[in-house]
Amino acid sequence: FIAGAGSMGQGIAETAAIAGIEVVLSDVDQEHLDAAIRGIESSLNTLIERWAITASEKRTILSRIETVVGLTKTDDCEFAIEAVPEQIDLKKQIFKGFDSEFDEETVFVTTTSTLNITEIGGVTDRQDKVVGMHFPFPIVRASVVEVVRALKTSDQTFDLAKGLVVQMGKEVVEVNEYPGFITTRVMIPFINEAIYALMEGIASAEAIDKAIKLGFGFPIGPLELADTLGLDDLIMLMEGLYRELGDLKYKPCPLLRRMVRDGNIGKKVGKGFFVYEKGSVDDEDTGS
């Protein structure tokens, strides 16, 4: 069961379904769920174009994803995963709902990047069954998941979480509970610096991403990665890390704030550092 059909929830649902796992994807209304399924279909179409899957396999993968509005009890649910935005009160609310809806054996997973897992799990009556799993973006392509033990996470829960990651075809990295863990803590300044390079007119968005992809062999550039994350979610991550760690390298670039204020928040709206249309990526001149 996955609560939250945004980019994180979509990526986890798609990854699980590709691995043969039955998924129930939940959000507050059908509109969000329909948008999520369209996003997953688009991602699967990209895999078809790359000869990674067939059209028949796409249909099978989609058949493994059921959508429901709200937190609805699901029988024989092994994992309940919250994939909502980085707002601790919202995540606590979801976990309270999990506590009342799911069997006592269900493991509760938070996908937080910056918040305290022990505090989120503290609202439940099963703190030993709370664990963190951080999926780096782009989720389907990334080959690793950070598994994070909260203060009261049992060994059994931790082992079950690691088993799920392996079942999804990913590598496990065990991480201690600390703001940003590994990937987010390293990735955020990387993206922020790329945005500064754009704001200062060093190069176009396309040139910056091209230099990073070709120079370091990365599959995706920092600005497209930002668009994939969602610039509104990205700024929440930055502010959370800046608040927790007090390091200026996590303070959001002014250009990022301007783009979020203007509503150009990335792929989910069709425009961020690039313009997205029918799966293509066009350079958007946001540095001027």
Every domain of the chain and the residues it spans? 2-175, 183-277
The answer, as to whether pTM is greater than 0.75, is yes
Query: What is the CATH topology of the domain spanning 183-277?
Result: N-(1-d-carboxylethyl)-l-norvaline Dehydrogenase; domain 2 (1.10.1040)
User: Residues 227, 266: contact at Cβ < 8 Å?
Assistant: yes
pLDDT digits (tens, 9 = 90+) for 102-133: 999 999 999 998 899 999 999 999 999 999 99
Which residue is associated with the tokens 């439940």? 124
pLDDT by 10s per residue, the chain, length 288? 999 998 899 999 999 999 999 999 999 999 999 999 999 999 999 999 999 999 999 999 999 999 999 988 777 899 999 999 889 999 999 999 999 999 999 999 999 988 999 999 999 999 999 999 999 988 998 999 999 999 999 999 999 999 999 999 999 999 999 989 999 999 999 999 999 999 999 999 999 999 999 999 998 999 999 998 899 999 999 998 999 899 999 999 999 999 999 999 998 899 999 998 744 444 444 432
40-73 pLDDT, tens digit per residue, is: 999 999 999 999 999 999 999 999 999 999 988 7
Annotate 202-240 with three-state secondary structure. CCCHHHHHHHHHHHHCCCCCHHHHHHHHCHHHHHHHHHH
Dmax over CA atoms of the chain, in Å, equals: 55
Strands (E), 101-227: 107-110, 130-134, 144-149, 171-175
User: Under CATH, what is the fold of the domain 2-175?
Assistant: Rossmann fold (3.40.50)
